Structures are given as C-alpha cells and as structure tokens.
C-alpha cells in the first residue's frame, strides 16, 4: 500500500492527511517534533491568557487519528534522502515513504541581533515558545517588564498576552506606524492609538540594537539602536516576521530558495515530494499574492489541493480571492480582495472611521473603471461569501457601497453604519 508521509502536523499537513483519507485508503503517517496531536497554533495566545486550556486548541479528540487510520509519529526529521525515499530522524530512527509532503511551517525570524539566543528571548510560534513564556513570564513579579521587537500580527498578540497578566510591555516597531506595510494609514494609526489605550508602551520607528545578558546568560535588557536607550526587561519577544522552517532540507536534493520551491501543483523538483503551507515557495507569485504565504487559510487550501493531486486528480493550487483576518487587542480586522497600504497607480482608497475610534472601513477601487477591488474593515464584521461573489462579478464600487449592508456580519441588534458610510462616500466623491 502506498505510504504517504507528511512532515508537520499543522493546519496544512493535517488538512492534507484528512483529505487523503477521505479520498483513498493509502497509509498515512504524520510526523511532528512539536506536539503529539494537531493543535491550532493561532490559539496558543489564548492558553497563556487563560481563556482556554491547551487541550481546547486541539480541534480533534485524540481518538480521531486512530479511527481515521492516520498514524502519528513524534520525531525530528534530520535529513531527507530522496533517492531511497527515506527520512532520517535525529534519534537515529528511519522511515520509508512513497510520497512525501513537506509541511513544516515557519520559524520566527532572527536577524543576527547580539543576544538573540539568550534565555528569556523567544518568538511566539511553537508550543515550545508558549512553554518558554510560561517559564520566564508567569506573572509580573518574575517578569517585571517585557520588550517586544517587531510590529506584526504576532507582535501585537504577544503584547496582548503579556498585558493580560499585567506585565508592562514596551513594543518596539521598526515602521513609523503599526503594520503600515500592510494596513492603510487610517487603519494603522487607529491601531497605534488602540495599543496605547491598552497602556502598552508603543515605540514607533525604532530598531533593536542588542539584547544584554545578566551574569546567568539571561536577558536583562535591550538597547534601542536609534537612541542608545537601555530598556530593562526580563523577557524579550522577537516577532519580526517568520520564514520557512526548512533548514533540515537544505542538504537534500530538494530545491529550496527561501522556502521549498514548488510549482503550481505544489510539486518540488523531486518526483513524489510535495511542499505545502508556510514552507512552500512558489516559483512565481500567483496573482498579487506573495510567493510565500504564511497564512492559516492558504495552508489549509494547499492541504485541500495537494490531497487531490496525490489521490490521482492532479490539480493546480489556484486560490480564489484573497481574504484574511486578525484581531488587534479588542479590534477585529477582516479583509477581502486587495487593499494595499498605499493605493496603486490606478487605485483610489475610500476611508471612513467611526468617531469612537474603534471602527473603520477602507474600500479600494479602480479610478478608471470604478471596479471594486477590495475592502478592509476594523471593528465591523463582513460576510466572506458576499464579498467573494462581488469580486467574482467584478462589481463597481457604487454597487458595493449601496449594497454594503447585505455584507454586514455583525451580531443581531448591533448598530449598523452603512448609511453613514455611504453618505461619507457620496460626499467625498460627489455622487448624487
């Protein structure tokens, strides 16, 4: 029987395994060095915050794997020998495969900062990072102050986590405004204010120079590059993005760039070896997407897709309209279609913000054709299906603005702002 081995038990690998099982009777083994069972990485923060216990982050009960004949092997793959189709584990173990799916995800970026490997310095990506944080920042007596370096989605989540235990946080962000490489100005600025309202010491436009150690090799402070200021702290969170977790593949015959190079069918240069999720790098970007997409949803889509290919229905990875979501402390963020930080050459951004400074919307459209290109909302929930449909139908912006309430997904009895938004839109663009 064909043996499918999947390295990595994150959303990509597990989705692939589930779909392969649905489509076939092949033998499936999932390998992970991180945890025994699949858990939702995105939920680790809620464990530290006390909203959930770790077992709540596991979407399937432990009996699920056996029942679906998906074998789980805990172990760290050291090398992949593609000629003999063998995995070699760090503990000397070996495993034969017929088909291999690499789904090893990401690891936190470290940019060679002095002191980046000290005790008390951590990313927030793996289960082990959570354990580490629990060790070095159990409360505000052990951890009197924390510094977070890098203003992206994981950075603000880590800030929220520490905040939940009343640990004072200084948040060093390289950009002049939070996540302004992705968020348009109005949204980014709103989040700046929201972060400060949570009493987080947000420092914009600053970089880390080095992390200073105490006599035991534990972090005791950071030096800010621009000012030379020393900030005392017990924990340093490094959250300056992630990159593919593929160091163990570099010596194999599998072609790598920043990630494992794959074609549109998620095939690597070696037959019967596929790569999906955060660790896969497309030879050429798909549409306006990036060649590497470290996004939950994309990982899941690749898992769904590669399962088809492995089970005989060879299909391209052809993701639909872009969408994403996040939560910045108390403010939810959703996006459908493309809204870039700065409008492109032929694009116009319409921005509306509620006076309470926790809700806003940015709509991007083509200034020549009026075609609706995308929407960002903060603090207002929108319906994925509706926007997906409008994007497919290439609706113009006037249609979208006039029908915005159809896309509203806020809970019942919430105040709706579509009329106000439409009024503002009409005023701004002198529409009747």
Partner 1 sequence: MSLAKPDANDLSSKQKVAVASGVVGLFILILALFNTDFINNGLFLTTSLGLIFLGTILFANDAYLSKLLGIKNDGVWFKSISSRGTLGWISGIALTLFYIVLYFYPNLLGLGGNSASNTGLVSLFDPLSKLLNGNPASQWFVYGSLYTVAILAFGYKFILKYRHNKYQQLRTFSVMFFQLGFAFLIPEFMARLNSDTFKLPYYDLKNMWPLNYYNFEQYRIDDFINAGNIGMALLFFGIVSIFVISPFLTYKYGKRWYCSWVCGCGGLAETAGDSFRQLSSKKLSAWKLERWLVHTVLVFVVLMTTSVIYTYLGYDPDKYWLTKGVFLALVGALLTLVFAVVMIFKRNELGKDARYGAIGYFVIIMALFSMHYFSNGSNLFLFEAETLRSTYGFMIGAIFSGVVGTGFYPILGNRVWCRFGCPMAAILGFQQRMFSRFRITTNGGQCISCGNCSTYCEMGIDVRAYAQKGENIVRSSCVGCGICAAVCPRGVLKLENDSMQGRINPNEILLGNDVDLMDLVNKK
Residues in contact with partner 1 by the rule CB under 8 A: 11, 19, 22, 40, 42-43, 46, 49-53, 56-59, 61, 164, 197-198, 296-297, 300-301, 304-305, 308, 313, 315-321, 323, 325-327, 329-330, 332, 334, 358, 381-385, 388, 392, 409-415
Q: Which is nearer to partner 1, 33 or 52 (CB)?
A: 52
Tokens of 328: 């910045």
Pick 46 or 97: Cβ nearer partner 1: 46
Among residues 274, 317, 272, 238, the alpha carbon closest in space to that of 104 is found at 274
Of residues 90 and 285, the one with the C-beta less far from partner 1: 285
Closer Cβ to partner 1, 16 or 254, answer by number:
16
Residue 164 CB, nearest distance to partner 1 (Å)?
4
Please report how close the Cβ of residue 50 comes to partner 1 at its closest, in angstroms: 4
- Tokens 């319906």 sit at which residue? 383
- CB of residue 17 to partner 1, shortest distance in Å: 14
- As a 3-state breakdown, the chain gives helix, strand, coil percent values, each rounded to 5, of 25, 30, 45
Q: Which are the contacts of 402, defined by CB distance < 8 A and separation ≥ 6?
A: 422
Q: What is the DSSP-derived secondary structure letter of residue 322?
A: -
Contact 308, 19 (CB under 8 A): yes
First to last CA, the chain: 68
Beta bridge partners of 172: 149, 203
CB of 43 to partner 1, least distance (A): 4
Please, which residue, 253 or 385, has the CB nearer to partner 1?
Answer: 385
Half-sphere exposure of 140 (CA within 13 A, CB side): 10
Structure tokens at 62: 């432990």
Nearer to partner 1, 398 or 410 (CB): 410
Structure tokens at 266: 């998620």
CB of 381 to partner 1, least distance (A): 4
Output 225 or 286, the one with its CB closest to partner 1: 286
Min dist CB 233 to partner 1, Å, is: 22
Nearer to partner 1, 3 or 198 (CB): 198
Q: Where are the beta strands (DSSP E) in 137-228?
A: 146-149, 169-173, 201-204, 208-213, 219-224
Give least dist CB 308 to partner 1, A: 7
Closest distance to partner 1 from the beta carbon of 275 (Å): 18
Instruction: Tell me the helices (H) and strands (E) count for the chain, helix number first.
Output: 10, 25
Cβ atoms of 169 and 200 closer than 8 Å: yes
């Amino acid at each position: 029987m064909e043996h499918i081995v999947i390295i990595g038990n994150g959303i990509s690998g597990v989705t692939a395994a589930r779909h392969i099982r649905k489509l076939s009777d092949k033998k499936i083994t999932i390998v992970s060095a991180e945890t025994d069972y699949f858990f939702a990485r995105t939920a680790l923060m809620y464990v530290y915050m006390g909203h959930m216990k770790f077992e709540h982050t596991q979407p399937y009960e432990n009996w699920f794997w056996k029942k679906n004949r998906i074998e789980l092997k805990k172990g760290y793959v050291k090398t992949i020998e593609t000629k003999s189709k063998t995995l070699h584990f760090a503990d000397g173990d070996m495993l034969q495969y017929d088909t291999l799916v690499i789904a090893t995800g990401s690891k936190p970026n470290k940019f060679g900062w002095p002191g980046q490997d000290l005790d008390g310095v951590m990313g927030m990506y793996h289960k082990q990072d959570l354990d580490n944080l629990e060790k070095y920042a159990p409360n505000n007596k052990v951890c009197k102050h924390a510094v977070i370096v890098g203003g992206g989605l994981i950075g603000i989540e880590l800030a929220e986590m520490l905040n939940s235990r009343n640990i004072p946080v200084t948040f060093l962000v390289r950009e002049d405004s939070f996540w302004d490489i992705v968020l348009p100005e109005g949204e980014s600025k709103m989040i700046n204010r929201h972060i400060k309202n949570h009493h987080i010491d947000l420092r914009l436009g600053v970089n880390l120079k080095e992390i200073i150690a105490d006599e035991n090799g534990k972090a005791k402070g950071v030096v800010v590059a621009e000012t030379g200021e020393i900030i005392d702290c017990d924990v340093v969170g490094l959250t300056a993005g992630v990159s593919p977790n593929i160091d163990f593949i570099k010596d194999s015959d599998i072609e790598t760039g920043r990630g494992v190079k794959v074609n549109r069918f998620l095939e690597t240069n070696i037959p019967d070896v596929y790569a999906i999720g955060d660790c896969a790098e497309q030879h050429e970007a798909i549409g306006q997407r990036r060649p590497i997409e470290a996004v939950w949803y994309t990982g899941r889509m690749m898992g769904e897709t590669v399962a088809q290919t492995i089970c005989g229905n060879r299909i391209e990875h052809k993701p639909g309209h872009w969408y994403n979501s996040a939560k910045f402390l108390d403010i939810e963020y959703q996006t459908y279609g493309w809204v870039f930080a700065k409008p492109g050459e032929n694009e116009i951004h319409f921005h509306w913000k509620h006076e309470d400074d926790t809700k806003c919307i940015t709509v991007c459209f083509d200034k020549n054709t009026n075609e609706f290109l995308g929407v960002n909302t903060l603090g207002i929930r929108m319906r994925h299906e509706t926007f997906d449909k409008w994007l497919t139908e290439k609706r113009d912006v006037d249609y979208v603005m006039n029908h915005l309430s159809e896309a509203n997904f806020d809970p019942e009895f919430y105040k709706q702002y579509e009329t106000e938004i439409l009024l503002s839109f009409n005023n701004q663009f002198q529409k009747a």
